[in-house]
Amino acid sequence: MSLRIDLRSGNDTAFAHYANFNVSSEANHYAIEVSGYFGTAGDSMKYHNSRPFSTKDKDPNILSIHCAKAYMGGWWYKNCYKANLNGLYASYSDNK
């Protein structure tokens, strides 16, 4: 299975295509596996490779911070993220 992510901010667009994409079983906390990147968005998902999925009410990660609560969205966190498509969207000027 493959995955394509299309991003848009204003008039700027980018994409990331992964030739190989898999989400594991519930027993493995829906860990993500991605490889075979091609695109213009940057390969941020490889940082999250093999990580379990975390939500605000279930965090299988052993980190000092609960990333899903802190960044307002479920994701495959690793210290906490390089990409977070499910989190709160805001520009840097909005984050004052």
Query: Is pLDDT at 93 greater than 70 in this prediction?
Result: no
Report for 1-5, 59-63, 70-74: range of highest mean pLDDT: 1-5
- Taking every pair of C-alpha atoms in the chain, what is the biggest distance, in angstroms? 41
89 half-sphere exposure, CB direction, 13 A CA radius = 6
pTM: 0.76
Distance CA(35)–CA(79), nearest Å, equals 20
At 88, the amino acid letter reads: L
Cα–Cα separations (whole angstroms), residue 7 to 14, 24, 26: 5, 25, 28
- Find the mean pLDDT for residues 52-75: 79
pLDDT for 9 equals 86
7-59: pLDDT as tens digits = 988 899 999 999 999 999 999 999 999 999 999 999 989 988 999 998 888 77
- Domains contained in the chain, CATH given: 3-90 (4.10.530.10)
